[in-house]
Structures are given as structure tokens and as C-alpha cells.
Amino acid sequence: MISASGSRLLWEQLPAHVQRQIELIAGGRVVEAVTQPGGFSPGVAARLRLADGGRAFVKAVSPEQNADTPTLHRREAVVAAALPVDVPVPKLLGSFDDGYWVALVFEDIDGRHPVVPWVRHELDAVMAAFEQLAQQLTPCPLDARPAAEGFAAEFRGWDRIACDLPPDLDPWAAANLDQLRELAAAGLEALVGDTLVHADARADNLLIDRAGLVHVLDWPWACRGPSWFDSVGLLVNVALYGGDPEAELARLPIVGDVDPAVITGFLSGLAGFFLDRSRLPAGRGLPTVRAFQAAQGASTLAWLRNRLS
């Protein structure tokens, strides 16, 4: 299985002035930096140990590693600074932005990513955390873009595929393109709500600490949308690793009053997005992203086909 991973920059490779600013925010001199795996940022992502024994987590990047990632870090800095203090999210200690380098410094969570393929007790804990987040982040606590606006281009993936049919397109998808396009358009229209949603729910964006508590990381895609967005979005990750997303969907109270056609449209939009994006060249520092998107697209399409059969 293709993992979510980028080509990490090391702490030692950061310019001295960026290191100094990070140490000022963290509150001490860094004596150890342990690079963390997972995720698609090609910049620094490291747990820091300070001279006084304190700890912090840093992510830092410049356009040299990837042209788009500094913008994502800037978005995340705004969201993280505005999140309520009682949500299960690492606290932002501060950020640094000199117009080229962008660094975010968080409290360090002593935890690990969930096991994949997903195991029952961890999936239950994560779903409970997302339900808690939906309650705490409704109404939306900041001026976030509406999900229907933020995902407008992404949910037109089937349109782009229809205009440039790939030779290896799944035969069922090719035979049902018109329906898939209509479903995705309806799914986009249904992305309404007043909940701040994470919008990128995956195992590598979660940590489970020693007490079993779930912490949700990496918020650059946050937007205002329906309360069920992240819970259903996580099931795309469950399907990717061989789980039964339809059975898991039936266990979710948060979708109890949601029209099943809305979920189907949402899945069509995501499947088209993943499969369309997987055809593009890999971005700098992101060697596995297209293969990961292709795998997500295939598993989401299989789930979607099952719902439509």
C-alpha cells in the first residue's frame, strides 16, 4: 500500500535565522530534532527536545521544497490560532513567516498515528473525537470559506476526466460518467452547514496519545460545512486500507438524518477528484502523492459503485 509521505527536510538544513526564531517560540535551545514520517509536507516536520527538557513540534517550509506548501502552512497558522482551547488539537505556540520561510510551532503530543489497516477500538475512538469536534466547532468559530466554495474545483474531476478520457479509466466509471458527473455536482451543492470541518481526515493526520485520546493535526484545508464531513471523509481512509466503509457508515449517529443520496454525491465528488489529480505530475518533494491519490480514487470508486448497485 502506498503511504502518505513526502521528502522531508531536516532540522539541520534550516537556515540559522529560522532555527533561532523557532527556538524563541518554543522557549529554549533545540538539542535534538527527530524527523516524523507520514503526511505530504516536504518541509521540516520534527519533534524537538529543548535544553531545559521542554518539548515542541515544528513544521517549516519554503518554496524551494514545494511551491504550494508555504501557502498551506500560512492557512493552517490562521486556523490553528483561532481554534477554541478545549478542542482535541495540538496548541499552536506561535508561528514565523519572513515571506519565504514559514514555520509553525506546536505543543508536542506524545502519541502515534492510528494503526492501518484500522482496528476497531482506534476507529471508534477517532469517530468519537470527530463527533466531539463537530459539536464543539458548531457554530463555526472563525470566518472560514464555505466547503461548497473550497471544493468547487475538486468536485469537477469527472468533468475534466470526461474531456480527456484516460485509457486506463475503470470501465464501470467510463460507462457511467454522466451519472458520476451529476452525482458530484449534487454532492457539491449539499456541502452546506455551519461546522468548522478539518476536510482532510486520514490516519496520518491523527495522533493517539498514551491515554488513548485522539488529537487532530494539520488544518490547512479547514472550511465551513456539514457536521458529518470529517466522519464520512475518514471512511475513505478506512476503505483505502481494506475496511468496510458501508458497514462503518451504518454505525455513525452523525449521519442518521442525512439523505443517503447526499453521501453518494459526496463520494462521487471525492472519487473524481482523486482520480483526476492522480494523472498530474507529482509536485516537488512529493514523490508518492499521485500513487496515493490513485489508490484512494480506486477504493472510493469501489465504495461508490457498491452504493449504486
Same domain, 83 and 156: no
Specify the pLDDT at position 46. 96
CA atoms lying within 13 Å on the CB side of residue 62: 11
Same domain, 223 and 156: yes
Residue 189 lies in a domain: yes
Q: Which of 64, 79, 108 is the last residue of a domain?
A: 108
Same domain, 274 and 129: yes
Specify the pLDDT at position 206. 97
Same domain, 93 and 135: no
Residue 6 lies in a domain: no
- Total tally of structural domains belonging to the chain: 2
Per-residue pLDDT reduced to its tens digit, 208-253: 999 999 999 999 999 999 999 999 999 999 999 999 999 999 999 9
Residue 2 lies in a domain: no
Same domain, 100 and 124: no
Q: Which of 76, 108, 140 is the last residue of a domain?
A: 108
Residue 123 lies in a domain: yes
Per-residue pLDDT reduced to its tens digit, 180-193: 999 999 999 999 99
pLDDT in tens, the chain (309 residues): 555 545 689 999 999 999 999 999 999 999 999 998 777 778 999 999 999 999 999 999 999 999 999 999 999 999 999 999 999 999 999 999 999 999 999 999 999 999 999 999 999 999 999 999 999 999 999 999 999 999 999 999 999 999 999 999 999 999 999 999 999 999 999 999 999 999 999 999 999 999 999 999 999 999 999 999 999 999 999 999 999 999 999 999 999 999 999 999 999 999 999 999 999 998 787 788 899 999 999 999 999 999 999
**Exposure class string for 37-58: b at 16+ Cβ within 10 A, else e:** ebbbbbbbbbbbbbeeeeebbb
Residue 259 lies in a domain: yes
Same domain, 137 and 215: yes
Residue 125 lies in a domain: yes
Same domain, 135 and 232: yes
Residue 159 lies in a domain: yes
CATH number at residue 158: 3.90.1200.10
Per-residue pLDDT reduced to its tens digit, 5-35: 456 899 999 999 999 999 999 999 999 999 9
Among residues 8, 54, 59, 61, the alpha carbon closest in space to that of 31 is found at 54
Specify the pLDDT at position 6. 55
Residue 1 lies in a domain: no
Same domain, 149 and 278: yes
Specify the pLDDT at position 192. 97
Same domain, 103 and 120: no
DSSP 8-state class, residue 119: -
Q: Is 252 exposed, middle or buried (CB count within 10 Å of its CB: 0-12, 13-18, 19+)?
A: middle
Specify the pLDDT at position 41. 76
Specify the pLDDT at position 40. 73
Q: Which of 59, 89, 108 is the last residue of a domain?
A: 108
Same domain, 206 and 293: yes
Owning domain of residue 125: 112-308
Same domain, 155 and 187: yes
